[in-house]
Amino acid sequence: MAFSFYKYQGTGNDFVIIDNRRELFFKNDTKLIKLLCDRKFGIGADGLLLLQNHPEHDFTMVYYNADGNKSSMCGNGGRCIVHFARYLGLISESATFEAVDGLHHATLQDDVVSLQMNEVRQIEAAESYTFLDTGSPHHVQWVENLSEFDVFSEGRKIRYDRYGAAGANVNFVEQLSENTVAVRTYERGVEDETLSCGTGVTAVALAAHQRGKATGNSVRLQTRGGNLTVRFKKSGNAYVDIFLEGPATLVFKGEWL
pLDDT (tens digit per residue) in 91-103: 999 999 999 999 9
* Shared domain check, 16 and 71: yes
> What domain range is 141 assigned to?
123-245
* Shared domain check, 150 and 65: no
80 a catalytic residue: no
CA–CA dist 252, 232 (Å, integer): 33
74 a catalytic residue: yes
Please tell me which residue in 36, 50, 197, 201 is annotated as part of the active site.
197
Considering its fold, how many domains does the chain have in total?
2
* Shared domain check, 180 and 77: no
Q: What is the model's pLDDT at position 177?
A: 93
* Shared domain check, 173 and 73: no
Please tell me which residue in 37, 74, 219, 244 is annotated as part of the active site.
74
Q: Determine the straight-line distance between the first and last CA of the chain, rounded to whole angstroms.
A: 7
CA–CA dist 140, 149 (Å, integer): 14
- For residue 38, which of 194, 256, 252, 190 has the smallest C-alpha distance? 190
* Shared domain check, 150 and 95: no
What sections of 14-122 are H helices per DSSP?
Answer: 30-37, 75-87
DSSP 146: G
Enumerate the β-bridge partners of residue 3: 256
pLDDT, one tens digit per residue, over 31-41 is 999 999 999 99
* Shared domain check, 222 and 161: yes
Q: What is the mean pLDDT of the chain?
A: 97
DSSP 118: P
